[in-house]
Chains A and B, each alone.
Chain A
């Protein structure tokens, strides 16, 4: 399983600069989580690594191999697979078709991997002939994860897999993620639910408006007061700006 290294990554949409000179490391077989409030740029970062947004400067290295600037299809072929925040499933196609399409670049091992995915998510096996859009939110998330696994990822990236899910389903999915990590997969998990993510992860980074502000092993991060500050504020001093509004 490889190591992911981001070196001084800068990227954004159109003219907006969202990520500014960010560097991070995910060691082989680690589960690293990136935390932060909404709007911090976590999704943008993952989209950049997955090749959906161009990286303006900096490098993306997988086991030392420079992957910067490659289009998404070639990144998937090299084992960099993203489960996006909105899942991006093919609603009018069946569950099984969605899964098989996930294995598009791994046609040789596709049948075996499919069996594996069905054993991880038995409910998908049950619903294999159903149209993807008829699945519940939790089932769709499982399908998105299953589809990603069909590509035999070496680096798996997950963008807020827990959003909008009932706690019970969330736990089921996170259990699968935990299992994958135990089997040695390198995983980058972006989450808003800090406590849940830190309970799984080896290490965590905290992002605030395009930059990393905190880093450390999960055990110490969990109790760090700066973590709640990142979510609930307290860093910038607005006092002077406020006062000025009431003068004159």
Chain B
């Protein structure tokens, strides 16, 4: 009987495997190779944090700086201030985390390529500062006589035991981060990478999440640095300088930043290639060291051009993909409709006198309408009429230059991420799904705000109940759009029509009382459109208010209660579909004069 394992179990197994192999090697390797083993372990630890950072869409071009802060921090506290070594190690980690908190907060607003440049500056300034503050740090030559690490009764002064500790931590980090990817916060990080706007729309506080991830990545680097100090019993600035940062990046990208195990693979690959080149080129062929550098560079270029996703992307098909078990049919309880109280609000969303100008161009002027519960309102108009702008203003993505938007009588919240809690959900004109997650995980994103499990819970597996409830909701939504068969398919493989319906499913998982759909029918086949119309009517029946922007007249005419027609940024006509269709002004607007 075949028994397939889930990807969380695979992560656990892989982590155990890594640890066991490393521990075995730590036991038998001669001293020179033992040092290499530890070096690879330290690199892998820092690289796995960097991989986490990259997977959230951020960059750190000077990451070794945080290793340096961790290393020097632990070393100085242990050697010069008598801190017990485990405390010193943790303090080093805290110092690195704190530095990242400061840097991350200060550079929060930097846009475009300024942010990577700032991280580069940190990566250069830190080792330079370490050299400069020579009275404390011993300058460019560093210092030694760092005491041995001793955790309680365990004496870890022997190099072998320290090597085992290092790889234990690598296994925990890699395994934990891999499991994290399949948890609520892991999905949030993937969403952040895919589209910051979409992440906010499902309720993720993106600035806070970005900063947290950055701090964690720095903390892991700090831990790696601290372990370096306690293993080599000597620190100097050069292992934490810019070339070291570049090395970390190489390990990460070559291995594959998509998975923490990729980063571990990368660290191993870099070392393996170096050893191989030294052995073959230098020893056997007697070629000078420069040839190694050339060959390494060539290998790096070749591998990345062939597999831009790194070594991991070439091996990923052997890794089990995410699957979520479908709950029993009679499990019930997963309701996706607004509560009874919400079902009778006539003016849930109100736009009054909305105007918008961009520079000198008046895109919208005096647009007024409202959407209430149990009705579907369509916003239509020819190309350039201002529908998208109006829609963005209604959902808080853009601010109007005149007029107001009210949701249930109150102004729209300041932060986009607060909208979903108020019961507002929307889809996008250009579908924004997370391409590397499966369909069911994408749908589960919609339930982000209904959960509360943090990162640790995700890694340790303490979120089982909450995940079960989340996925029950997701399955229900997927059932409503009739795409249950696609649950395990990666979102990147969907057709446009399927992707749109998945986005609708994600929207309804949050149990919205107001649903805003931006051209949901674009790219749909007739059968999918029929499904969509049926779905919208079911939602209407259960009390949801729906605002839909569409070009497909057939679809719109058949599912809305009333229409608002815009032309050249102004209200042109409104009424029932039949009224609007017969209106000569509307006909003129569409067909021209």
Is any CB of A less than 8 Å from a CB of B in the complex? Answer: yes
Measuring CB to CB, which residues of chain A are less than 8 angstroms from any residue of chain B?
Answer: 15-18, 37-39, 137, 160, 163-164, 192-197, 209, 227-228, 231-236, 238, 240-242, 244-246
B538 with A194: CB separation less than 8 A: no
Greatest chain A CB density within 10 A among B382, B492, B554 is at B554
Q: Residue A232 contacts which of B523, B540, B587 (CB distance < 8 angstroms)? A: B587
CA distance A78 to B382 in the complex (A): 34
Q: Residue A245 contacts which of B496, B541, B556 (CB distance < 8 angstroms)? A: B541
B577-593 vs A: 1/0 string, CB under 8 Å?
00001000011001111
List 23 A–B pairs whose Cβ atoms lie within 8 Å, in order of A's numbering: A17-B496, A39-B519, A39-B521, A137-B361, A192-B382, A195-B592, A196-B593, A232-B586, A233-B553, A234-B553, A234-B554, A235-B554, A236-B530, A236-B555, A238-B533, A238-B554, A238-B559, A240-B530, A242-B534, A242-B559, A244-B534, A245-B535, A245-B540
CA distance A246 to B537 in the complex (A): 8
Greatest chain A CB density within 10 A among B361, B492, B558 is at B558
Given A15-B496, A236-B529, A242-B537, check contact A38 B383 (CB 8 Å): yes
With A38-B382, A197-B592, A233-B581 known, 20 other A-B pairs at CB within 8 A are A15-B492, A15-B493, A16-B495, A37-B553, A39-B522, A163-B384, A193-B592, A195-B591, A209-B552, A228-B587, A232-B587, A233-B556, A235-B554, A238-B558, A241-B531, A242-B534, A242-B558, A245-B534, A245-B535, A245-B538
Those of B492-517 within 8 Å (CB) of chain A = 492-496
Greatest chain B CB density within 10 A among A234, A241, A246 is at A241
Instruction: Write the nearest CB–CB distance from B179 to chain A, whole angstroms.
Output: 30
B591 with A227: CB separation less than 8 A: yes
6 closest Cβ contacts across the A-B interface? A233-B553, A193-B592, A245-B537, A16-B496, A233-B554, A195-B592
Instruction: Write the nearest CB–CB distance from A198 to chain B, whole angstroms.
Output: 9
B551 contacts chain A at the CB level, 8 A cutoff: yes
Instruction: Write the nearest CB–CB distance from A10 to chain B, whole angstroms.
Output: 14
Instruction: Write the nearest CB–CB distance from B491 to chain A, whole angstroms.
Output: 10
Q: Residue A195 contacts which of B382, B492, B533, B593 (CB distance < 8 angstroms)? A: B593
Q: Which B residues touch A235, using CB under 8 A?
A: 554
Instruction: Write the nearest CB–CB distance from A110 to chain B, whole angstroms.
Output: 33
CA distance A231 to B581 in the complex (A): 10
A194 with B591: CB separation less than 8 A: yes
A15 with B534: CB separation less than 8 A: no
B591 with A15: CB separation less than 8 A: no
CA distance A137 to B361 in the complex (A): 9
A233 with B534: CB separation less than 8 A: no
Measuring CB to CB, which residues of chain B are less than 8 angstroms from any residue of chain A?
Answer: 361, 382-384, 492-496, 519, 521-523, 526, 529-531, 533-535, 537-538, 540-541, 551-559, 581, 586-587, 590-593
Q: Residue B383 contacts which of A163, A227, A242 (CB distance < 8 angstroms)? A: A163
A238 with B555: CB separation less than 8 A: yes
A236 with B526: CB separation less than 8 A: yes
A194 with B592: CB separation less than 8 A: yes
Q: Which B residues touch A209, using CB under 8 A?
A: 552
B552 with A39: CB separation less than 8 A: yes
Q: For A41, give the chain B residue with the smallest CB separation.
A: B523
CA distance A231 to B494 in the complex (A): 28
Q: Which B residues touch A16, using CB under 8 A?
A: 495-496, 523
B495 with A17: CB separation less than 8 A: yes
Q: For A18, give the chain B residue with the smallest CB separation.
A: B523
Q: For B542, give the chain A residue with the smallest CB separation.
A: A245
Q: For B430, give the chain A residue with the smallest CB separation.
A: A13
B554 with A231: CB separation less than 8 A: no
A246 with B541: CB separation less than 8 A: yes
Q: Which B residues touch A238, using CB under 8 A?
A: 529-530, 533, 554-555, 558-559
Q: For B531, give the chain A residue with the smallest CB separation.
A: A241
Q: For A198, give the chain B residue with the smallest CB separation.
A: B592
CA distance A245 to B558 in the complex (A): 13
A233 with B495: CB separation less than 8 A: no
Q: For A196, give the chain B residue with the smallest CB separation.
A: B592
Q: Which A residues touch B535, using CB under 8 A?
A: 245
Q: Which A residues touch B383, using CB under 8 A?
A: 38, 160, 163, 192
Q: For A167, give the chain B residue with the smallest CB separation.
A: B593
Instruction: Write the nearest CB–CB distance from A181 to chain B, whole angstroms.
Output: 19
Q: Which A residues touch B541, using CB under 8 A?
A: 245-246
Q: Which A residues touch B558, using CB under 8 A?
A: 233, 236, 238, 242
A233 with B496: CB separation less than 8 A: no
A228 with B591: CB separation less than 8 A: yes
Q: For A165, give the chain B residue with the smallest CB separation.
A: B384
Q: Which B residues touch A244, using CB under 8 A?
A: 534
Q: For B591, give the chain A residue with the smallest CB separation.
A: A194
CA distance A241 to B536 in the complex (A): 10
B494 with A15: CB separation less than 8 A: yes
CA distance A232 to B557 in the complex (A): 9
CA distance A194 to B592 in the complex (A): 6
CA distance A207 to B558 in the complex (A): 21
Instruction: Write the nearest CB–CB distance from A150 to chain B, whole angstroms.
Output: 27
CA distance A235 to B530 in the complex (A): 13
Q: For A166, give the chain B residue with the smallest CB separation.
A: B568
B592 with A232: CB separation less than 8 A: no
Q: Residue B553 contacts which of A193, A196, A231, A240 (CB distance < 8 angstroms)? A: A231
Q: Which B residues touch A194, using CB under 8 A?
A: 590-592
CA distance A228 to B553 in the complex (A): 11
CA distance A15 to B502 in the complex (A): 15
CA distance A227 to B530 in the complex (A): 23
Q: Which B residues touch A246, using CB under 8 A?
A: 537, 541
Q: For A192, give the chain B residue with the smallest CB separation.
A: B383
Q: Which B residues touch A18, using CB under 8 A?
A: 523
CA distance A196 to B591 in the complex (A): 9
CA distance A235 to B555 in the complex (A): 10
Greatest chain A CB density within 10 A among B493, B534, B540, B559 is at B534
Instruction: Write the nearest CB–CB distance from B498 to chain A, whole angstroms.
Output: 9
CA distance A163 to B581 in the complex (A): 22
CA distance A209 to B529 in the complex (A): 12
CA distance A98 to B551 in the complex (A): 34
Instruction: Write the nearest CB–CB distance from B365 to chain A, whole angstroms.
Output: 15
Instruction: Write the nearest CB–CB distance from B574 to chain A, whole angstroms.
Output: 16
Q: Which A residues touch B592, using CB under 8 A?
A: 192-197
Q: Which B residues touch A137, using CB under 8 A?
A: 361
Q: For B558, give the chain A residue with the smallest CB separation.
A: A238
Q: Residue B557 contacts which of A17, A39, A233, A241 (CB distance < 8 angstroms)? A: A233
B530 with A241: CB separation less than 8 A: yes
CA distance A15 to B538 in the complex (A): 29
Instruction: Write the nearest CB–CB distance from B225 to chain A, whole angstroms.
Output: 42
Q: Which B residues touch A163, using CB under 8 A?
A: 383-384
Instruction: Write the nearest CB–CB distance from B496 to chain A, whole angstroms.
Output: 4
Instruction: Write the nearest CB–CB distance from A43 to chain B, whole angstroms.
Output: 10
Q: Which A residues touch B554, using CB under 8 A?
A: 233-236, 238
CA distance A242 to B581 in the complex (A): 20
Q: Which B residues touch A228, using CB under 8 A?
A: 587, 590-591
CA distance A37 to B382 in the complex (A): 8
Q: Which A residues touch B593, using CB under 8 A?
A: 195-196
Q: For B530, give the chain A residue with the smallest CB separation.
A: A241
Q: Which A residues touch B553, using CB under 8 A?
A: 37, 231-234
Given A160-B383, A163-B384, A231-B590, check contact A37 B551 (CB 8 Å): yes
Q: Which A residues touch B521, using CB under 8 A?
A: 39
